[in-house]
Amino acid sequence: MTDTTAQDLIEKLDKLLETERVALLAGDLETIGELLEQKEDLIDRLNIIQPQNQPALAGLHDKVTCNQALLDGALQGIRKVAARMAAMRRIRRSLETYDKSGQRQTIEGEVLHKVEKRA
């Protein structure tokens, strides 16, 4: 692999990481998924670069680290939303309360989906 090719790959990955950062900040999960295959391909190709070209990759490390932190934050947010939705579903099915002695009681609820037909 020539230095020109290595530099081209580095520039392509740099642009892709910037696009990924913008998508992460915008919450555009679809774009992030589409970029994954391209990013993996570029990284695989860069992994075969000879050690003398490795210093040129140092500039990408900060971008990768920043994007990983953004991605971790997005995943944490998605998990919190999923947990909140599960709690809301659980609340709809039952009500937890305390009796006069301070013991927890669960009052089961039942959601009836009923359609009434009128002539």
Distance between CA atoms of residues 2 and 22, nearest Å: 31
pLDDT in tens, 56-84: 777 788 898 999 999 999 999 999 999 99
pLDDT in tens, 80-115: 999 999 988 877 777 788 889 999 888 777 656 677
Residue 27 gets the label, from left (phi > 0), alpha (psi -120 to 50) or beta, of left
Closest CA to 20 of 31, 4, 5: 31
Locate the domains of the chain by residue range. Answer: 3-108
